[in-house]
Structure 1
Amino acid sequence: MPRTPQPRFGIMTAPMQVDYHDILRVWREADTIPEIEHAWLFDHLMPIGGDPSGPIHEGWTLLSALAAQTRRLRLGLLVTSNRFRPPAMLAKIAATVDIVSGGRLDFGIGAGSRPSHPLARREYEANGLPFHDSAHAVGSLAEACTVIRRLWTEEEPFDFHGTYVDLTGAFCNPKPVQHPHPPVLIGGRSAALLRVAAEHADLWNIPGGDLGDVVQRSALLDRYCAEIGRDPATITRSIHLPVSYDRPGTTRDAIDGAIEAGFGHLVLGLPSPYPTNVARWVTDELISTSI
């Protein structure tokens, strides 16, 4: 596969086991560096790493605060759990963040944590949220994507009576700044989720690791796009790659492999604690060598 031209780099700061002001410092620094084009948080209610009872910040609330204190970065959650919030409420939250940011939101969404991840599973029980099976999670995601887009774009109230989502008189005002709506990034790797991405995603994100599996998943997305008559090239391929401060060469190799595999949207996950001037270090040590 030919090398993807002009990859777009961003960072991800998981908002757990870390102070708000530490994340704000990193985002403010990144906002001044043109080579870093986007920045991300994740969406969990309890820590999924480190001290299980340690601090963790709510993703959308934190994202709105960071949006108000940055000027250039595109921003989003990698990715919102569709299990946490009703889709009409989520559409309103996202529209608000797009307005606060001046039209810089990339709307990341996924089916929610896998039942096999015990540290993720417990956050549903702890917060009184239902945890349905994977088929329910993916089916409700597809309906959520449909109604969220409609809420962002339709000028009149509407009813929607689906298998999983039931709305009467649904309406979103004000609308997002971006027209026709913020880009939709869908994250995940299952075949069922890739079918949803083929229909609804502007960007598709997958965690890095096994590059062979990542390539196979991307090819499967191509196939599902072809089945519904969509050009696969209209979905930007995005990958999350963990950063090693001690072994930058390992991270550079992962970046090069992802770019060679056709992934032009790269999210570099920064472990905490964040070194001083970490955004500049990422730019000089990782991004500049790959552009």
Structure 2
Amino acid sequence: MSTAGAPSFGIMTAPMQVGYDDLLRVWREADGIPEIEHAWLFDHLMPIGGDPGGPAFEGWTLLAALAALTDRVRLGVMVTSNRFRPPAVLAKIATTVDVVSGGRLDFGIGVGSRPDHPLARREYAAHGLPFHDTAHAVASLAEACTVIRRLWTEEEPFDFHGEHVDLVGAFGSPKPVQRPHPPILIGGRSVATLRVVARHADLWNIPGGDLQDVVQRSAMLDRYCREIGRDPASITRSIHLPVSYDQPGPTVEAIREAVDAGFGHVVLGLPAPYPVGVARWVADELIGPST
């Protein structure tokens, strides 16, 4: 697919191995730089890199704090683990952040951690959370997207009896600021997840790295959209690209290649520790040269 209009750029600050003051500093700086349009956290309860015993903040709590202390930048969690929170509770949490932010939430969600990532897998047992198989996780994600959207939009209480989600008298009040609801971004690359993306997402995110594979996954998503009668161009393609402070050139080239391939929503992953003025550096050294 082709990119409609100019690409949008954002930053990702993984809230692990870093302090709150540093995260707030970077987000508030980014909030004042128009070239940076969105900012993201991740959703892990324990570090998935670096010191396994180091700090890791809960994503949605932190997002609410950052929403209250910024004014312009769109914000979200890339991506929420659907395994962590019941979907009706998650809908309430997300509504709260959308209200606090004045309607700036992009709602990121996915099936949750890969079963082959040991540092991510351990957080489930450590917090008393079940880790279901992939088929269960994907089916749960589809049901979660359905009920979350209904809680955001329907004006009367409803019951929902799915295979994995069971609600009686479900109702969301207040509603999100954004109407009909905050944009839904789904992250993932598997065939099963891409079929959920085709039905439910406004944006689809995938990690960069192997651009050929990324492009092939995007073509698969096009096909799944057409199978259900949806215009593939109605789903914005989003890509996460890692940043090196010492060697910006490869990131600039990766941005150009991704945008040329139809990815109009670019998320730049910033490693901690964050240099002073890092958001301005991103705008000057990465976004400017690539556009």
1:52 is displaced (CA, Å) by: 0.3
Deviations 1:269-289 (A, max 9, x none): 000000000000000000011
Alignment-derived partner of residue 61 in structure 2: 61
CA contact under 8 A between 2:3 and 2:264: conserved in structure 1?
A: no
Residues 140-181 of structure 1 deviation map (CA, whole Å, 9 limit, x = unaligned): 000000000000000111000000000001011001000000
* Amino acid of the structure 2 residue aligned with 1:38: H
Q: Moved runs in structure 1, 4+ residues, more than 4 A? A: 1-4
Q: Residue 141 of structure 1 aligns with which residue? A: 141
Structure 1: state its 5+ residue gaps: none
Corresponding residue SS for 1:43: coil
Alignment of 1:72-111 (within 5 A): 72-111=72-111
Q: Which residue of 2 aligns with 1:70?
A: 70
Give 1:4 deviation, angstroms: 5.8
Secondary structure, in 3 states, of the residue corresponding to 2:37?
strand
Question: How far apart are the structure 2 equivalents of 1:135 and 1:247?
Answer: 40
CA contact 2:248–2:285 (8 Å) conserved in 1: yes
Deviation at 1:2, TM superposition (A): 5.5
Pair 1:289-2:274 in alignment: no
What is aligned with 1:212? 212
Report the Cα distance in structure 2 between the residues aligned to 1:4 and 1:207, rounded to whole angstroms: 21
The residue type equivalent to 1:186 in the other structure is I
2:268 alignment counterpart: 268
1:214-233 aligned at under 5 Å gives the runs 214-233=214-233
- Hey, what's the Cα distance between the residues in 1 that align with 2:43 and 2:27? 17
Q: TM-score, normalised on structure 1?
A: 0.99
User: Which residue of the partner structure matches residue 13 of structure 1?
Assistant: 13
Instruction: Determine the C-alpha separation between the residues in 2 that align with 1:70 and 1:57.
Output: 18
Match of 1:117 in 2: 117
Aligned to 1:48: 48
Q: Secondary structure at the match of 1:289?
A: helix
Whole-Å separation in 1 of the counterparts to 2:91 and 2:238: 22
SS in 1 for 2:198: helix
**Partner secondary structure for residue 186 of structure 2:** strand
Distance 1:289 1:215, change over 3 A: same
In the aligned structure 2, how far is the partner of 1:245 from the partner of 1:251?
A: 10
Aligned residues: 291
